[in-house]
Amino acid sequence: MGRRWFELGLSVPERFADAVESFLFDLGTTGLEIREAPGSRRLLAYFRRPPDVRLLRSYLRELGVGRHGRLRLRSVDEREWKNRWKSSFPPLEIGATWYVCPPWSRGGGAGRVRIVLDPGLAFGTGQHPTTRQTLVLAERWLPDPCPSALDVGTGSGILAIALAKLGVPRVVAVDVDPQALESARRNAGRNRVLRNLEFHSSLEEIEGRTFPLVLANLERDPLLRLRAPIERLSEPGSRLVAAGLLVEDVETFRKAYGRKWREIESTEEDGWVAFALERRDGT
């Protein structure tokens, strides 16, 4: 028998998910499995030692998360965990170009550009509609030329890696989560594009720079909160791909971004909407 892990499972509304994920890392989780659904996330957090469930329940009550008592804690064998990872992350063809697969995948993806990702941290594997939408729109509306690009909320680094593989020589990847940045660095090395990527933990670190392309696969609240910084980091005529919006968020997003951005395409999949926008010249 292999080593034992403790698996803590809970479901939270989408708007609380980032805060809860951060708290789980504060509790000592070594990794998260994230299963997306419209409006919510199922979180499976893994620990070496039993976590303080009472502390988590208290935090959920303070946050206002409903059904905070529905937590499940169980002991799992390390081999069971690894086998489930493999079954939950099959290779995936995205659009006309991409073949996203885990390191253990062999073969497949003939004629496609291969992106190899370690799913151990479970964010940005291409399984969620917003990642697929962003990949397709980013390729379709890539400026020509595109000497640099910005990926806001890089997660696993999948989008930044894709841009590098499309020929963008300098891609700036930003994420507030240090474990996400470490995951993105490892994945960039695995895909042999590390020299093309630059990593930062906040947009303030790159203040004063501008980019012809910005990717922001976030959620409604972060997109609204970061509107002004994103505008400062773009330039007249630049393009923005924004994803992570539910259908009910669309009008709010359009009102917030409509003054400085012109909509050039939108897509919808399973209740998720993504936009390709172009900044109006002279603004």
User: Tokens 């240090």 label which residue?
Assistant: 178
Torsion, Cα 232 236 237 238, to 10 degrees, reads -20
Both structure tokens of 74: 């169980």
The continuous run of DSSP H or E covering 167 comes out as none
Which pTM value belongs to this model? 0.74
Given this model, what pLDDT does residue 122 score?
Answer: 41
User: Tokens 């004629």 label which residue?
Assistant: 111
- The set of long-range contacts for 254-261, using a CB threshold of 8 Å and a minimum separation of 24, is 256/223, 256/224, 256/227, 257/227, 259/283, 260/231
The DSSP output letter for 97 is T
Could you tell me which of 139, 144, 147 has the C-alpha nearest to residue 97? 139
CA dist 174 and 181 (Å) reads: 8
Given this model, what pLDDT does residue 15 score?
Answer: 85
Q: Which residues face 31 on adjacent strands?
A: 46
Is the torsion defined by CA of 152, 182, 63, 204 positive or negative?
negative
User: Tokens 């909320």 label which residue?
Assistant: 153
Can you say how many angstroms the Cα of residue 156 is from the centroid of all Cα atoms in its chain? 7
Given this model, what pLDDT does residue 67 score?
Answer: 57
Along the 283 residues of the chain, how does pLDDT read in single tens digits?
456 778 899 988 888 888 898 899 888 887 777 777 777 888 888 888 889 998 999 999 888 886 554 688 888 776 666 566 566 677 889 999 999 988 877 778 889 999 998 755 445 667 778 899 999 999 999 999 999 999 999 988 999 999 999 999 999 999 988 878 888 999 999 999 999 999 999 999 999 999 999 999 988 899 999 999 999 999 999 999 999 998 999 999 999 999 999 999 999 998 889 999 999 975 5
